[in-house]
Amino acid sequence: MGNILAQEKPKRTVSERLVTALRQYAEPLPPPEQQQAFGQFFSRFGDAQVVLLGEATHGTSEFYNARAAITRQLIEHHGFTVAAVEADWPDAARIDGYVRHHEKRPRRGEGFVRFPTWMWRNAELLAFADWMRGHNEARPDRTKVSFHGLDVYSLSESIHSVLTYLDKVDPKEAVLARRRYGCLTPWQYEPAKYGRAVVRGERQGCEQKAIEQLHTLLDKRLGYLANDGEAWFDAAQNARIVREAERYYRAIYQGGASSWNLRDRHMFSTLQAVIAHRGVGTKAVVWAHNSHIGDASATAMGWNGEFNIGQLCRVAYGDDAVLIGFGTDTGTVAAASDWGADMQVKTIRPARPDSYEHAFRLTGLARTLTDWRGRTRQSLAHILREPLLERAIGVVYRPETELLSHYFEAVLADQFDAYVWFERTKAVTPLGHERPLGAPETYPFGL
């Protein structure tokens, strides 16, 4: 059945006028390894407050290198001071401590050990983190670039972080916090089982306890802030994650769009909290999958009731939010065959003939930036409103059922403001458990 679905005949074809328009407006790009030359093409987006950079897979080297080059340009020349990524807050806090020369924050063991480890434990991110550390070295704290995770999965580590913080600043409150979180701690390593048990009525939920602990941290913030405002903010964010993770793991068993929407709402609210914490005028770059940063209302996701961080940013920031998608045709990708399985370097199938990726391939251009903002490009935007399929490869890639597993319908002109195209790409370079040769002793994943 899967092979039949993968080979199903296209329902529509890419129009010649679309290919012609893409050839006319697409701007050839240098390789992203030429970071300064590559990044200069993206200075046009420097006036925005939030620039969201996508990826069509979670395991493509060019996407990481391109986003690093763009982010460097925005940091060095346009005053951006926040990099926020689709990763767990405690893991990203390790990198944040490294790049801002701060003390490490509470964590047990190494960072980025939850599947999929290669998504952030890779050589491409390490190189970017090293650059950020060097950039920040001589700068005052208020102008240093920070690195933050937006995701909601870190129930266990977030509980640990809150308790460790309270042990230091308020031991009496730490005792009460352990009692509140005692409802969740038996499930912290298998939170999905907790969600299933609550939804099935097999046990009482812990939502109220998680809310109480967050409110306590917020109510006492004036006293805690006097000691260390950065540490309090980290603890408060972790308390928010505990509250949202409790809801999320119940929502995944309730069906519908609720779990996706809860997750993306949390990522958006975390981004807003970071921007507010860094102060007036803060500008941020977001790294996440296309399915999160492209406006969901222009895709089959939105038509089925889901929204995402890109859509929420457009509502909140208007033209001060820029959404940039990324795509590829063929090459290799780091991905697993099933959730929790080992990573493999897989070959990406050529894009379907009824997809936007196929249209970009027909231009014959290897690397391009296509920007359809502004009055002079309205004809291109109009043509890009022809609905076509779009490919999304996450941490799992199943080429044998590619149509069913990885394609959805979209309207590109409304989903993004611009699009970065790579005709052929290669897999990201994962890091093993050992420190790479030449990396500093305090490199982010070993702090």
On whether the pTM is more than 0.85, the answer is: yes
Name the pLDDT band for 108 (thresholds 50, 70, 90).
low
Locus of tokens 């391939």: 361
Residue 337, pLDDT score: 94
Task: Please state, rounded to an integer, the average pLDDT across all residues of the chain.
Answer: 91
Mean pLDDT of 408-437: 86
pLDDT band at residue 254, thresholds of 50, 70 and 90? Answer: confident
Radius of gyration (Cα) for the chain, nearest Å? 22
- List the one residue out of 91, 6, 88, 94 whose CA is nearest residue 267: 88
Contact 383, 18 (CB under 8 A): yes
* CA 229 to chain centroid: 26
Say if residues 205 and 233 touch (Cβ distance below 8 Å): no
Q: Looking at 98-239, which runs of residues are DSSP E strands?
A: 146-151
Cβ-contact 237, 270 below 8 angstroms:
yes
Give the pLDDT confidence score for residue 443 in this predicted structure. Answer: 34
Structure confidence by residue, pLDDT tens digits, 152-198? 999 999 999 999 999 999 999 999 999 999 999 999 999 999 999 99
Phi-psi map region of 283: left, alpha, beta (phi>0 left; psi -120 to 50 alpha): beta
Residue 341's pLDDT is what? 92
Q: What's the confidence (pLDDT) of residue 109?
A: 65
β-strand partners of 396 = 336
Least confident of 66-75, 79-88, 113-122, 412-421: 113-122
The lowest-confidence range among 36-50, 234-248, 252-266 is 252-266
> What is the rounded CA–CA span in Å between residue 278 and residue 223?
20
pLDDT tens for residues 337-365?
Answer: 999 899 999 999 999 999 999 999 999 99
The confidence score (pLDDT) of residue 281 equals 94
Lowest mean pLDDT among 154-168, 242-256, 311-325: 242-256
Model confidence band, residue 436 (pLDDT cutoffs 50, 70, 90): very low
Q: Tell me the pLDDT tens digit for each residue of 295-307.
A: 999 999 999 999 9
pLDDT at 4: 35
Give the residue among 440, 357, 334, 381 at the shortest CA–CA distance from 117: 334
Query: Tokens representing 189?
Result: 């390593």
Question: CA neighbours within 13 Å on the CB side: how many for 237?
Answer: 32
pLDDT digits (tens, 9 = 90+) for 21-31: 999 999 999 99
Tokens coding 176? 């009460």
For the cut 60, the answer to whether the pLDDT of residue 232 exceeds it is: yes
Write the Ramachandran bin of 152: left for phi over 0, alpha for psi from -120 to 50, otherwise beta.
alpha
Residue 410's DSSP bridge partners are 299, 388
Lowest-confidence region among 221-230, 272-281, 376-385: 221-230
- Which single residue is written with the structure tokens 């924050």? 105
**Quick one: pLDDT at residue 302?**
95
Whole-angstrom distance, CA of residue 3 vs CA of residue 23: 33
* Helices and strands in the chain: count of H runs, count of E runs: 20, 11
pLDDT given for residue 446 in this prediction: 33
Residue range 397-402: average pLDDT?
95
Position with higher pLDDT, 47 vs 4:
47
Read off the pLDDT band of 441 (50, 70, 90). very low
